[in-house]
Amino acid sequence: MLKQRPFLIETLTAVGLIVAPFVLPHLGFAPNTVNRILVWGLFGLGFDILFGFTGLLSFGQSAFYGTGGFVAAYLLTRAGFSNVLGALVIGMIAAAATGYLIGLIALRRTGIYFAMITVAIAEVFFFVEFNPLSDFTGGENGLPGVPAPSFNLGFTTIHFTDGWSLYQFIALCYFIGIIIALRIVRSPVGAILSAIRDNPLRASAVGHNIHGYKLTAFVIAAAYAGFAGGLLGVLQAFMPPDAFTFDTSGQLVMQTAIGGRGTLFGPLVGATVWLFLQDFLQSALGLGAAWKLVLGVVFVLLVCFLRGGIIGGLVDLYGLVFGKHKRTEAEPDAEVTQPPAPAPMQARKVEHPAYSGPILKATGLTKRYGGLVANSDIDFSVNQGELRGIIGPNGAGKSTFFKMLTCEVPPTSGQIVFGGRDITGLKVTEVCQLGLTKSYQVNQLFTGLTVRQNLTIAALAELRGKFRLDLFRTLSGVKGLTEQVEHTLALVNLTRRADTPVSELAYGEKRRLEIGLALATSPRLLLLDEPLAGMSPRERVETVKLLKSIARGRTMIIIDHDMDSLFELVERVTVLQEGRVLVSGTPEEIKTNAAVQEAYLGGVHGEIAA
Ligand code: ADP
């Protein structure tokens, strides 16, 4: 929704902010309430990029809100600084720098451990603010006397004092905040953040430095929090110590969940509900502190029945009424049997142009899991342009071998040389950047995205490298991206399903997309781990045809159990048994090899795959 009509959202936001002072008073909103909602909304923009878009639930945002707020307030009340906007920006920078340092620590863990670290860090900040730093922060008293902003234009000075006058300043800040946030979520970085939320493992396997991007989201969230914290001081003419409390972090999480995560406007809507209920229930109905009981019930109901929050519910409703998702039909099988022949994609730069040996050479590769030896002393090499098959009974160590080659798991001993370069011990992201990647035995897709968006994520890794902060570039501004995505769509025969969400794909289509994700990174060596797994006989025949068309001009290693299909595809086969190489040879040699027959069938039957 955010991407289709970019300027519509900006325009509607501007119109909304302009008409709000004329409409909201009639609905019972005091200007001060509206200003507070906007501050929460601005605070939440960064948090939504972190939580909604990147999937990182932090309970520590109060640390940055407080840091930005107190730095700005200190400058304005105690350090003789008179430029309010300048102080807010300095507070924001201080919060972002703090976010960078905290992020370095917190992002070492994921999931609940990440959340727990953020809670602990926020508590530390709260303690530090109240005790060692109380001379600077005013401790329990906070910092009174924060001035309102004013701008000297030479011929006149504009003062934004309070109420609707101050609203103009805060609304402008919010508007700039939303413009920046929209740019970020529509940028290549924004696309990658969503991929990290959906499937961090695959995002790093296609070549993105996910730690760097997560840290970026963390710093962005801290920066927004810092600026909003400064605005809170300006709004109240007083920087309150409770900006640092856990309640602040918790309230932000709940408001975002109520409004709808991953929408940017969710925190604003959530804050509106929260503050309206607070005012209405506390004053109008005289419930006092019991208002939180009602809020709790509202929260539980919303989370149970509207998992995407209020905005998510509205979007679903819109989809129901106007049939937003035009469902595309599954492609007819006939198309699969006649895959198009797209123009060859530009090959990846070769690391060592002078190198002429095998593209991949593994020596003495061994992997132990405790006492179990999954791979033992494997010597293996593949030449440029070769199509190699790997077979072996279940548990023979085939997948482990692939995982070591792509550096998903480190070998216990041995060496892997790719394109003349020793890649042993590198990370999966770096190896993919060098041009070696695989498709997974069990699909590893970005399930919340469409087919095109999936391939875009993979192609971006090749076109932009593993980390780049092009936060304000649009996806269409990435040179070669559209061509690469379209080319891959055609290669895996998913062009007509390009805008279909992954969740709506048939199984065979998902398998093709799985291969497409690896292909979109333009690998020099492609490993396919059981590409035919789980397919019906008919789908297998079609996928083998597809693989044949993909194989032209590529170097590939394919694991599969379906020997008929595999022998049709590859030029040489390596047989693994109990973690060792049993034999290597042409399909014909393997079919008639007595040791292979023994391994598969105990030697009682005739030729395998006969
Ligand atoms: P294949 O792909 O040929 O079926 P695998 O490589 O998956 O074989 O497994 C080889 C052996 O290593 C099996 O005995 C398996 O149980 C073991 N293994 C694989 N991964 C792990 C792991 N992460 N921890 C412990 N044992 C493992």
Which 8-state DSSP code applies to residue 450?
Answer: B
Q: Which of 295, 321, 347 is the last residue of a domain?
A: 321
Region 231-235 average pLDDT? 96
Q: Is 412 among the domain residues?
A: yes
Contacts of 511 (CB under 8 A, 6+ apart): 443, 531, 532, 533, 534, 535, 539, 543
113 within ligand 1 shell (Cβ under 6 A) = no
Q: Are residues 259 and 398 in the same domain?
A: no
Range of the domain at 242: 31-141+158-321
What is the whole-number distance in angstroms between the Cα of residue 375 and the centre of ligand 1?
A: 9
Q: Are residues 314 and 459 in the same domain?
A: no
- Total domains in the chain come to 2
pLDDT above 80 (res 157): yes
| Percent over 90 (pLDDT), the chain | 67
Q: Is 347 among the domain residues?
A: no
DSSP helix/strand/coil, 29: coil
Residue 328 is predicted with a pLDDT of 46
pLDDT above 90 (res 331): no
Region 58-71 average pLDDT? 95
What is the whole-number distance in angstroms between the Cα of residue 397 and the centre of ligand 1?
A: 6
Q: Is 343 among the domain residues?
A: no
Residue 4 is predicted with a pLDDT of 58
Best mutation site among 366, 368, 369, 576 for ligand 1, i.e. most ligand atoms within 8 A of its Cβ? 369
Q: Are residues 104 and 243 in the same domain?
A: yes
Q: Are residues 404 and 454 in the same domain?
A: yes
Instruction: Give dist(CA 213, CA 203) in Å, integer.
Output: 11
Give the confidence band of 562 by pLDDT, cuts at 50, 70, 90.
confident
Instruction: Give dist(CA 336, CA 540) in Å, integer.
Output: 11
Q: Are residues 444 and 528 in the same domain?
A: yes
Region 73-97 average pLDDT? 95
Q: Is 338 among the domain residues?
A: no
Q: Are residues 293 and 419 in the same domain?
A: no
394 within ligand 1 shell (Cβ under 6 A) = yes
Q: Are residues 299 and 376 in the same domain?
A: no
266 within ligand 1 shell (Cβ under 6 A) = no
What is the whole-number distance in angstroms between the Cα of residue 402 and the centre of ligand 1?
A: 11
Q: Is 148 among the domain residues?
A: no
Residue 110: closest CA among 226, 207, 199: 199
pLDDT above 50 (res 400): yes
Q: Are residues 125 and 221 in the same domain?
A: yes
Q: Which helix (H) or strand (E) covers residue 306, if one does?
A: none
Residue 345 is predicted with a pLDDT of 52
Q: Are residues 380 and 312 in the same domain?
A: no
Region 581-598 average pLDDT? 88
| Percent over 70 (pLDDT), the chain | 92
Residue 41 is predicted with a pLDDT of 97
Instruction: Give dist(CA 571, CA 123) in Å, integer.
Output: 62
pLDDT above 70 (res 309): yes
Region 554-564 average pLDDT? 89
Q: Are residues 487 and 375 in the same domain?
A: yes
Q: Are residues 312 and 400 in the same domain?
A: no
For the chain, the 3-state helix, strand and coil shares in percent, each to the nearest 5, are 60, 10, 30
pLDDT above 70 (res 321): yes
Higher pLDDT, 249 or 277: 249
Residue 338 is predicted with a pLDDT of 43
Give the confidence band of 563 by pLDDT, cuts at 50, 70, 90.
confident
Residue 242 is predicted with a pLDDT of 85
Q: Is 13 among the domain residues?
A: no
Q: Are residues 316 and 385 in the same domain?
A: no
DSSP helix/strand/coil, 572: strand
The CATH number linked to 421 is 3.40.50.300
The CATH number linked to 258 is 1.10.3470
What is the whole-number distance in angstroms between the Cα of residue 416 and the centre of ligand 1?
A: 19
Instruction: Give the mean pLDDT of the chain.
Output: 89
Q: Is 6 among the domain residues?
A: no
398 within ligand 1 shell (Cβ under 6 A) = yes
Which residue's alpha carbon is at the smallest distance from atom 21 of ligand 1?
Answer: 369
Instruction: Give dist(CA 79, CA 75) in Å, integer.
Output: 5
Q: Is 152 among the domain residues?
A: no
Q: Which of 296, 321, 346 is the last residue of a domain?
A: 321
